A and B are shown apart, each in its own frame.
Chain A
């Protein structure tokens, strides 16, 4: 029978037992019935679990306490306590279900159906039934059910559900479109590229769900703690019940038994055991709404303790694509310098060559003769009868052209023709608009140590670091050097907190794995990064790191609050019950009431502050040449 029916029935019986006059056995019988109605399942479970070898559990404690109360004649109290307990348990279940629902809703990316065109027939399918290669139809306002490539139609997409980003993104034919986003304006046909299981939405949901599989240290501790705790408490209760009457003169057994019962009831660790995992669950859910995917509750904990942030430069703090910032000719015009450089670099695949070609932008009308690329140096070319060199200072020097000393913010590509120095181009990797502000936010959160690692040259590294106000920079690092550097930083004896590494995931996998917490940026769709990192930031925004840090700290704080509150109240009432100052009422309240409050508190971890959902940065203009 359901609780909502049983409780009033038990109350009625109890009321009857208190009001009806008659032979002594009638009130007692009514009271016992009231007790049976309210508590039969608890008693049954207690007995069943004993036969299975599990003696000390909640059911047992409550049964023992209430049966004990009946034995010492406190019928009303036994019934009241049992009713109160059942109501509390009911409400607790309800609260946990509601929490789970709220978390699921907060992450609700799942669409219910997909409209697909097959063999000229339009049909509405379960997204799971759609196949790769199917043509998906999307109307304005619909949530995209599957990953794919746009075939026809232009639109703007709301990616907020995945990235937490408020700015809509434009997309047209040939662009990728991801499940979980909302198609805002256009009518689209899309070729499905991934099955529902493999789609972005499913993978994100799975990752977030499974994140609570990796327990935080707090949770692991509480699990061990409660296994030991209950037997200890029962033993203490027995001692409390029987020892004082034997050794203290004038102590009455029923008195002490009552106190021991109290003790038993208060001692249940439910509040701790439920609220801490729920807090982390909520924290992970909240983070995912901000576009931050946390892969384990333990990472949230470790992140909260961060004292050092290490960044990979290219792709994390900078855009990762080179741009020609300016052309500095020693003779002739800027345009001529750039044109010559573009001609020399026309066939090279090096990102620097690409940036030069892009900066030129116009078709190359002159023929380039023999081109030879020197790795780590530059290009030697025959152009219009001239012997042209385009490369770094070292390369030019080794070909007999001395290069004047220049210092600049970036990589320099020098040009020489027939032994004469023509000038240089300054090529730099632009710092992301939000990067400086993101680092400022981290500092404001109390992160004192910010370190930049890069495989780029010292000049380029220094330049970026200065722009971002980072004092510790290490340049010219190969991937294995980066791992070594991170290990070195982590091995310092006076290290206080954890070390966080942020990289773009593509070639930072070993470092991400080595650091205490690894952040991957701009991972929308990148498999490698999602695999290697502990926390994935769905868009490119460095600002989210500060948000992640704040969310982590808040979650851990709430979990600690709950633990502290639960333990504190329990110890207090335990103490009171030893001295006979608490009633069974108070004991049940201390147990059930604390649990419910802890659960409600845990839900706070789900809500986000505005600044964590949307990063607003000042725009930093970059300079472009010619």
Chain B
């Protein structure tokens, strides 16, 4: 299953690339894309991995870029 989350706040392109690499290494994540231009994070993982992976991804993103976070609605 693929889900996308908007990014709140600014992300620099290199931070996005670093976050992307780390998020892709999370267990359960098949693929990850952090797009600084469209300000979206797209995650591909098994359905029951959500929203866990999204929360993890949010943590990683915050570490890489202060002031950036994922909008995980429900």
Contacts and interface: CB of A to CB of B under 8 A. Distances in A.
Contacts of A58: 12, 14
Contact of A273 (B14, B35, B40, B42): B14
Interface in B30-49: 33, 35-38, 40, 42
Interface in B17-58: 17-18, 33, 35-38, 40, 42
Contacts of B12: 58, 274
Given A212-B38, A281-B37, A226 B14 contact: yes
A213 B42 contact: yes
B3 interface: no
Interface in A120-161: none
Interface string B1-23: 00000000010111001100000
The dominant DSSP class at the A interface is: helix
A600 B12 CA distance: 17
A212 B63 contact: no
A480 interface: no
A209 to B, nearest CB: 5
Given A45-B66, A48-B66, A93-B10, A212 B35 contact: yes
A273 B36 CA distance: 11
A277 B36 contact: yes
B13 A273 contact: yes
A226 B21 CA distance: 13
A14 to B, nearest CB: 27
A514 interface: no
Interface residues of A, number: 23
A55 to B, nearest CB: 13
A270 B35 CA distance: 16
Given A45-B66, A210-B42, A213-B42, A277 B14 contact: no
A604 to B, nearest CB: 16
A278 interface: yes
Contact of A213 (B10, B17, B35, B64): B35
Contacts of B42: 210, 213
B43 to A, nearest CB: 12
A223 interface: yes
Contact of A278 (B17, B37, B40, B66): B37
A54 B12 CA distance: 15
Contacts of B66: 45, 48
A213 B36 contact: no
A6 interface: no
A277 B33 contact: no
B17 A209 contact: no
A45 B67 CA distance: 11
Nearest to A274: B13
A212 B37 contact: yes
Given A212-B35, A213-B35, A213-B42, A277 B63 contact: no
A270 B36 CA distance: 14
Contacts of B13: 273-274, 277
Contacts of A274: 12-13
B17 A223 contact: yes
Contacts of A212: 35, 37-38
A100 interface: yes
A482 to B, nearest CB: 31
Given A223-B14, A274-B12, 14 more contacts: A45-B66, A52-B63, A54-B18, A57-B14, A58-B12, A96-B37, A209-B38, A213-B42, A227-B17, A227-B18, A270-B14, A273-B13, A273-B17, A281-B37
The list of the 7 closest CB pairs from A to B, nearest first, reads A223-B17, A213-B33, A281-B37, A273-B13, A209-B38, A274-B13, A273-B14
